[in-house]
Amino acid sequence: MKKLEQAINLDEVRRAREAVYSHIVPTQLTRYENLSRLLDANVCVKHENHNPTGTFKVRGDANLMHHLKKRGIEGVITFSTGNHGLSIATTAAWYGIDATVVVPENNNASKNRKIHETGAELIEAGKTFEESSETVKTILAERNLYYAHPANEPALINGVGTEFLEIIEKLPDMDALIVPIGAGSEAAAAVTVLKSINPKADIYAVQAECSSAAYLSWKSGVIESADNTTFAGGFATGIGYEIPFEIYKDNLKDFVLLTESEIYQGIAMAGYYTQNLVEGAGASTISAAIKLKDELRGKNVVLQSSGCNASSQEIDTAYALPAFKVGYIGV
């Protein structure tokens, strides 16, 4: 089935607001005094974890489904470790479109259950994100479905961009943003909006050290693959993706890599400092900000809290750490 074609730019992001806000409301941009003291900066958190489905991805998928419905598309398929799949399943249901979501075997059980509850068809196949994508290709050869790629989808990136319009309207003099990267749609959306409106703002990316394909791609300037073993589903990609990569590759100030321990620390600190349940990728921006403290000092800083769909095991592990009770205590 022919892919939906759309430019990725500020005008399209602004147009996406109609589709996005027909189903969700703007999320909070909250200043935290305790984080501001910790980082010696003016620190705000963008709470995308408050969205329906608990993730920023619902914005992009709402815009995508809006356009697919106008084209008369009746069924979509995607692959996901959970957040994109849940958002596709949810937004497809809003528009009366059938959804099929392929997830890796042994995927987050809570995310699987939520996908199934939307009425979507859930297929467990492959050991990794990338192996699940191969199953999608097999199904597409047999069924007339639209392939909603988790990153290489312009309408999706434009929809995600609405969160950055909200930020810049609330904090027009923002100096720095820290954003997690998995497949890269959120980073690409950040660049699309912020570099058009406030080009002096620095955008920092953060990723898991043991699933660092986006970092390696950014570092080399070409698409790279890498081992993909992180527990954090929002980071769990083993290759960079072309469309978002071409947008962010020359527009990031720096890139922070985190160990698995540091990602768990981020979940714990999100609980302590913001009283929010945040998953590994979403909470990683706090850990990254601590590493960037010297660069961020005295600046207006926004941390993306991109999602909250952690497993119970991940939450139990993180909340058993001292950081959940007392905050950051150093290394």
For residue 103, give every residue at least 6 positions away whose Cβ sits within 8 Å of its Cβ, in sequence order, or none: 79, 80, 81, 82, 85, 111, 112, 115, 122, 123, 124, 125, 132
Q: What is the pTM of this model?
A: 0.95
**Residue 137 is part of a domain; what is its CATH number?**
3.40.50.1100
Pair (201, 247) in one structural domain: yes
Pair (171, 314) in one structural domain: yes
Torsion, Cα of 86, 91, 92, 96 (10° steps) = 140
Pair (260, 321) in one structural domain: yes
Helices (H), 203-257: 213-220, 242-248
Structure letter (DSSP) for residue 208: E
pLDDT digits (tens, 9 = 90+) for 74-127: 999 999 888 899 999 999 999 999 999 999 898 888 889 999 999 999 999 998
Residue at 30 is within a domain:
yes
Mark which of 153, 185, 216 sits at the end of a domain: 153
Pair (77, 226) in one structural domain: no
Amino acid 146: pLDDT: 96
Q: Is the pLDDT of residue 201 over 80?
A: yes
4 residue type, one letter: L
Residue at 298 is within a domain:
yes
pLDDT digits (tens, 9 = 90+) for 256-307: 999 999 999 999 999 999 999 999 999 999 999 999 999 999 999 999 999 9
Mark which of 133, 153, 173 sits at the end of a domain: 153
245 residue type, one letter: F
Amino acid 162: pLDDT: 98
End-to-end CA distance of the chain: 52
Range of the domain at 19: 10-55+155-325
Mark which of 153, 170, 198 sits at the end of a domain: 153
Pair (223, 282) in one structural domain: yes
Average pLDDT over residues 167-173: 97
Q: How confident is the model at residue 331 (pLDDT cuts 50, 70, 90)?
A: low
